[in-house]
Chains A and B, each alone.
Chain A
Amino acid sequence: MAYSQQINGWLRKIPAWPLYFLLPIPGIYTFALALLNQLGPDPLYELIRTFGERGLQLIILTLLISPIRRWTGVSLLKYRRAIGLVSFYYICGHMLVWIAIDQGWNVNTIIEEIIKRPFITVGMFGFLTMFPLAVTSNNYSIRKLGALMWNKIHRLVYLAGAAGVIHYLLVVKAWPMEPIVYTVIVAVLLAIRLWWKINKKKKKPA
């Protein structure tokens, strides 16, 4: 515990705001490579995949913050909002590249694809669950909604994480490693929440 106090002490000196600039850098870099035709023979697919994967990685990172705090005492809580919001930006980019470049803004086929292809349906569902999270990721919303309601809304991130990995599993052929690894990680992180909930109930007097 002494170590965690010390780490928390250091963390107090490191503000969260630079994350809004630092975390998007890999995405901007990938986008620049795509524009310069330096992203391999199939830049469109590579760009879509990279944005999606980065978004998923950041969602997983937000899900890790509570377990880390409970088990080690190290609190990264103040960075969670920035990580969550940037994950939303990546997912927006992921979707926007698909809509604008892959589908060329063709609304009819976009709607048709969302309905017809399970991996797109699930992906779109995941995006929709992130939307209320993103618009309420500010102090004003916490005050306005109250902590209890705000926390309830932000449990939607569990759905977003689950939708993200299912989307990934459905889009690939056969059973490659990456989506399986992400699925296991998200499943474990969600199972931890379930475990906490069950234990909390047990402790309550009947």
Chain B
Amino acid sequence: MVKFNSEYTYADVTPKSYWLNRRKLMMGGAGAVLASTFAGNVWGKAFPSPIASPYSTDQEPHSFEDITTYNNFYEFGTRKGDPANNAHNLTTEPWSVKIDGLCDNPGEYSVHELIEKYPIEERIYRLRCVEAWSMIVPWIGFELGKLIEDSIPSSNANYVAFETLVRPEEMIGQRSGFLDWPYREGLRMDEAMNPLTILSVGLYGDVMPKQNGAPIRLVVPWKYGFKSIKSIVRISFTEEMPPTTWNDQNPREYGFYSNVNPNVSHPRWSQASERVIGTGLFAKKIPTLMFNGYEEHVAHLYEGMDLAENY
């Protein structure tokens, strides 16, 4: 079993210049060579040997720099660089996640307990933001479904609701009321149980950077990024569809499902294509795939549903 070791910091782990250089090298076409170097890396990381997953894409992940400097995490400000600048104030230790609502085995677990209890995998997923950009992230985490099974949800538990920490002293964005805090998200039970859905505790083999939703966040790769709620403190089982932050803020633009769907245009952004982050000013956009390319794993969840209506 993989042990979590909080003594390590990023400085111990990977020389930053290496990550920074990597992007430049990739542009020179040396990406494949480097990728193989990475697979067998020898540095002391928090998760040195996560289980590889058949759900991972074989596409090249984005650089650590891209993934950690281009973030939507409004708790730390609304600009893409704000989380990287402001999230260092967040205290992530100790941290516990409360499981409650309609279930027979509620509880409160520290992130350490969860990491020890569940098999830690690497999941290299495509991430598609509703703002029509995308990147590829090598997440570290475990299947949410396993935690749900252990919580023994009641038969009338139809939905799973999630909540982010509220701590305005450390989360500067929460001092303004541009969203109704806490950030809330939700999934239908079958979506939450799908093996693609993970609780992620890290990326690039190490603990989760704070700007990416430390210490534990949801990743639902076939939905727009805002569904993948960050810095979770509470998971509840509910009978009714739970309220979700962006849906409350603007129900016409952000539906509860928010599946990636190139055929359903957003009032502000065409969803037919996406610009890939980190590919430069003149990079061509790529077509957006149905369910972000995870159609074979999730299309059955929505059989018979009108996806234009249930956007």
Q: Which residues of A are in contact with B by a Cβ distance under 8 Å?
A: 34-35, 37, 39-45, 47, 101, 104, 109, 113, 116-119, 170-177
Contact = CB atoms under 8 A, between A and B. Distances in A.
Contact of B69 (A41, A117, A172): A41
B179 A174 contact: yes
Give the interface SS of chain A, mostly helix, strand, loop or mixed. Answer: helix
Contacts of B74: 174
A117 B132 CA distance: 14
Nearest to B80: A42
A9 B233 CA distance: 64
Contacts of B277: 41-42
Contact of B281 (A34, A113, A117): A34
Contact of B280 (A43, A116, A172): A43
5 contacts: A41-B65, A44-B281, A45-B133, A101-B281, A177-B178
B80 A43 contact: no
A21 B275 CA distance: 33
A51 B70 CA distance: 20
A39 B78 CA distance: 18
A175 B176 CA distance: 9
B40 interface: no
A40 B278 CA distance: 8
Given A44-B281, A171-B268, 13 more contacts: A40-B69, A40-B70, A40-B81, A41-B278, A42-B70, A43-B281, A44-B275, A104-B284, A116-B265, A173-B246, A176-B79, A177-B176, A177-B178
B81 A37 contact: no
Interface of B: 62, 65-66, 69-70, 74, 78-81, 131, 133, 135, 176-179, 246, 249-250, 265, 267-268, 270, 275, 277-278, 280-282, 284
Contacts of B275: 42, 44-45
A14 to B, nearest CB: 35
Contacts of A104: 284
Given A44-B275, A177-B78, A37 B178 contact: no
Given A41-B66, A42-B275, A43-B280, A119 B80 contact: no
A119 B267 CA distance: 10
A176 B75 CA distance: 11
Contacts of B179: 174
Contacts of B79: 176
Given A174-B78, A174-B179, A177-B176, A41 B70 contact: yes
Nearest to B67: A41
A35 B281 contact: yes
A113 B270 contact: yes
A45 to B, nearest CB: 8
A176 B267 contact: no
Shortest 10 CB-CB distances between A and B: which pairs? A176-B78, A175-B178, A41-B70, A41-B66, A174-B178, A43-B281, A41-B277, A41-B278, A34-B281, A37-B280
A118 B268 CA distance: 8
Nearest to A116: B265
Contacts of B282: 101
Contacts of B177: 175
A119 B266 CA distance: 13
B268 A117 contact: yes
* Chain A CB within 10 A, most for which of B131, B133, B268: B268
Contacts of A117: 267-268
Contacts of B78: 172-174, 176-177
Nearest to B63: A41
B133 A42 contact: yes
B80 A40 contact: yes
Contacts of B249: 173-174
A40 B282 CA distance: 14
Contacts of B81: 40
A37 B280 CA distance: 6
Nearest to B282: A101
Nearest to A109: B270
A105 B167 CA distance: 46
Most buried by B among A44, A101, A113, A175: A44
B281 A176 contact: no
A168 B66 CA distance: 26
A173 B78 CA distance: 9
Contacts of A113: 270
